[in-house]
Amino acid sequence: MKRVLTILAVNLGLLLLAALAAELIFGSWLSSDPIHKLALARDTRHDVTAEGLYPGGTKFVYRRDHWGFRGPDFDPKTVEVVSLGGSTTNQLYLPEEATWQAVMASAFAASGRSLAIVNAGIDGQSTVGHLVAVESWLAHVPGLRPRLVLVYVGINDTFVGGNVIDQMKHSSRFKWLSQNSALLRLWQSALGAVKARKARLNHHAFDFAAASWTTEGASRPELDPDPAAYPGRLRLLAERIRALGAEPVFVTQARGDWRVRDGRGEGVAASHDVNGVLLNGVDHHRRLARINALTLEVCRETGTTCLDMAGEIGFQDGDFYDGAHNTPQGAERIGRYLFEKLRSHPALAR
């Protein structure tokens, strides 16, 4: 028995030493860079393949610059628009030139107005994460003074209930640990990936042409997460963006598993389990419509620019490759829409 305990003690000691070494090498305990304390990919590039996700999908290089933005290196002093959002902003499986940010920038250039737009999208982020991004990321990029911060918001917040553990409300001790510990950040990232997979927010090809559509939800509205805390997060986000010297622009979102045919709304009938609740396209639309309505309400209350893209764009077949993510065709539609809506924005006047 004593020998077994000795072996266990030695193995436990070795594990602790390995964990300590990992923290010293990969953690942020010794770094003075505030951005280093976030789980941001920086100065990275890797191959991504979109083959099979949508027609024409190919292999391309996905890259993040020194400051964590997707795409080529930008001098932060030249950036006029920061786009903030989750996976529908990041657009992991679209080449850089096909993202809606690139489409928007090209439209501005064609009109005679060059515009530097950076992509600050991070998969899985809701307004909870956007608050952290503005306070702990954007505010610490040297020379970054954007005119606009474009927040593409809604879908991820449909899965954030009133009892969500908001990172901005953690005790200072937990915040300190999460900002410095490499192992804790790895654990949080793994949890986020699991939650995204359960909510079907990860990327997968879906055959809309072969799908069955319905007007009936698979769940009851009373089982939807309570969005009561969402308007408060949105107001705080607008305040923090203005503290950067920029103007916030909130953009409502639409989903690919909902459509209107002959004046009748219908969703994909196939349902999936999200935290013990079956949801189909009708349920997702109901939840998102509620979030979008709250977004518009907060914009009216705070005098914030709000673009109701969900209510104004008529997405077409082929604009989405799954329930949430756009094909290059859909991104083209979004980029053109944003250009038309923002080309005369006072903040972009020179």
Q: Phi and psi of 30, rounded to 5°? A: -105, 0
pLDDT digits (tens, 9 = 90+) for 253-285: 999 999 999 999 999 999 988 888 999 999 999
**Would you list the domain boundaries of the chain?**
1-30, 31-345
Q: What is the pLDDT of residue 36?
A: 72
The answer for residues whose C-beta is within 8 angstroms of residue 247's C-beta and 6 or more apart is 147, 148, 149, 241, 305, 345, 347
Range 322-331 average pLDDT: 97
For the ranges 185-194, 241-250, 275-284, 324-333, the lowest mean pLDDT is seen at 185-194
Strand ordering across the sheet containing 81-85: 117-119, 81-85, 148-152, 247-251, 305-307
Our CA dihedral for 30, 34, 38, 42, rounded to 10 degrees, sits at -90
Please check whether residue 100 is in contact with residue 117, taking contact to mean a CB–CB distance below 8 angstroms.
no
For the ranges 185-194, 201-210, 245-254, 310-319, the lowest mean pLDDT is seen at 185-194
Range 129-144 average pLDDT: 95
Q: Which residue has the higher pLDDT, 140 or 42?
A: 140
Average pLDDT, the chain: 87
Q: What is the pLDDT of residue 19?
A: 62
Token readout for 261 is 């045919």
Range 143-168 average pLDDT: 79
Query: Could you tell me the pLDDT band of residue 5, with boundaries at 50, 70 and 90?
Result: low
pLDDT digits (tens, 9 = 90+) for 223-244: 999 999 999 999 999 999 999 9
Range 36-50 average pLDDT: 84
pLDDT digits (tens, 9 = 90+) for 291-309: 999 999 999 999 999 999 9
Q: What is the pLDDT of residue 167?
A: 38
Q: What is the pLDDT of residue 226?
A: 93
Residue 256 CB-density burial (10 A; 0-12 exposed, 13-18 middle, 19+ buried): buried
Domain spanning 31-345: CATH superfamily: SGNH hydrolase (3.40.50.1110)
Check residue 70 and report its DSSP letter. Answer: B
Pairing type for strands 264-268 and 258-261 reads: antiparallel
3-state secondary structure of 42: coil
Give the type of residue at 155: I
Q: What is the pLDDT of residue 166?
A: 38
Give the best-scoring range by mean pLDDT among 19-28, 159-168, 213-222, 273-282. 213-222
Q: What is the pLDDT of residue 162?
A: 47
Integer Cα distance of 350 and 108 in angstroms: 13
